[in-house]
Structures are given as structure tokens and as C-alpha cells.
Chains A and B, each alone.
Chain A
Amino acid sequence: DAGVTQSPTHLIKTRGQQVTLRCSPKSGHDTVSWYQQALGQGPQFIFQYYEEEERQRGNFPDRFSGHQFPNYSSELNVNALLLGDSALYLCASSLAGYGYTFGSGTRLTVV
């Protein structure tokens, strides 16, 4: 049973560019959440997608947007990248908001 799959694992981008991160949820899960984890900090909630809609959003600017597809997979898009966007981006899937399983993350470096 495959867990949560994220791609790519590592990414280097230049300031001002745009990036798309991808997440495939654990089999049987219908909800996907995205988190940003800066070095030495706990993960911070970005947003959650359920039934292809953004159900809840954390304190992140509109530069951060997402999408959920009919097969429950999800994308996180970040526009106009800033140096401060450098972080580990984690995707978590769950069934009806219960029992969160996390992926291995995407390490984004903005230079």
C-alpha cells in the first residue's frame, strides 16, 4: 500500500520564478493538506483541499495556491518566489480529516 508520494524531492528556483509541487495521497484518502516547514521549526499549515475545493487556509499570501484533482491528487503552486519561501514542503493526506499521513516532502531552495 503506497503512502503519500511527493514530487520532486528537491528543487532549486530563482527569486521571482514560479514553482509547482505535486502530491499523491495514500490509497483510500480523500483529503490533502499542505504544510511549510522552515529549518528548526514545526510545520505550518498552508491549506487543505477536499472535494476539489480549498476547505481551509492558513496565514499564507495569495502567492500560494493549490488544486485538487478528481483522483484526489493535489498541486501546490507558489508564484513570485522569495528567498523566504525556501523550506521543506510537506503534503499530508487523510480520510475525512482523520489520521494524517505525511509524505517525505519537497525541499525547495530559492536563490
Chain B
Amino acid sequence: SQELEQSPQSLIVQEGKNLTINCTSSKTLYGLYWYKQKYGEGLIFLMMLQKGGEEKSHEKITAKLDEKKQQSSLHITASQPSHAGIYLCGADSGGSNYKLTFGKGTLLTVNP
């Protein structure tokens, strides 16, 4: 079965600093989703990557999928307190496997 490992588990940064969260898969990814979650709330969709080498950006957040489609990174530029939360990566194995497999998440704290 597919497993996703996220690093770091938690991260504390000063407002304005850049940061990167990584997601490594035990198998080749068909699709990789990034979500943000406030504590105890639902998941907010950030981006989806499917192609090797693909990179997408939205506001100050950039996500990349490596050429081998086994690792993804999420980069936040000039962090703000509004970026604080739990970031989750979810893998889509494709084919007849319809579930998303998630990592355990990365807790981001941004100090003003």
C-alpha cells in the first residue's frame, strides 16, 4: 500500500520568512494534492499536481512535483500569520484505486 511521509512534522517561523514542506511517497504518484487544515476543521484545497516536473503557484504558495513523481514540495514565500495551520499532502494512486492516501501533516506556526 502507498505511504506518504511529510517533513518536518512541525515548523515555527517568523513572519516574513520563507519555508518548505516536503512530501515523499513510497510509490509513484498518479496525482498529488495539497490541502490546508485549521485545527479541527475541514480541508481547504490548495493545489493538485499530476505531471512529473510540474509546478503550480497561487499567491505566495508554490508546489512542485519531481520528475520521478515520488516527491513533492510546498514552498511559502514571505510567510504571514494567515498561513498558519496544518498542511497535508494526499496521494491519488489512479487506476481503480479511488482513495486518497494522506501524510500525517505538517503543523505550521507563524509568529508575528
Residue numbers of A with Cβ under 8 A of B are 4, 6, 31, 33, 35, 40-45, 48, 50, 55-56, 58, 88, 90, 92, 97, 99-105, 107
Contact = CB atoms under 8 A, between A and B. Distances in A.
Q: How large is the interface on B (under 10, 10 to 19, 20 to 34, 35 or more residues)?
A: 20 to 34
Given A41-B104, A102-B35, A97 B98 contact: yes
Interface string B32-59: 0101000011111100100000000000
Interface in B70-102: 88, 90, 96-102
A33 B98 contact: yes
B45 A42 contact: no
Interface of B: 4, 33, 35, 40-45, 48, 88, 90, 96-105
Contacts of B88: 42-43
Q: Which 8 A-B pairs have the closest CB atoms?
A: A42-B102, A104-B42, A45-B99, A102-B43, A56-B98, A102-B42, A48-B98, A105-B42
B55 to A, nearest CB: 19
B35 A40 contact: no
- Most A CB contacts (10 A, CB to CB) among B90, B97, B103 go to B90
A29 B73 CA distance: 29
Contacts of A42: 4, 88, 90, 102-105
A45 B92 CA distance: 12
Nearest to A57: B99
Q: Is the interface of A mostly helix, strand, loop or mixed?
A: strand
A55 B102 CA distance: 19
A48 B99 contact: yes
- Most A CB contacts (10 A, CB to CB) among B45, B48, B99, B101 go to B99
A103 B98 contact: no
19 contacts: A6-B42, A33-B98, A40-B104, A41-B105, A42-B102, A43-B102, A44-B102, A45-B100, A45-B101, A55-B98, A58-B99, A88-B40, A90-B43, A100-B45, A100-B100, A101-B45, A104-B42, A105-B40, A105-B42
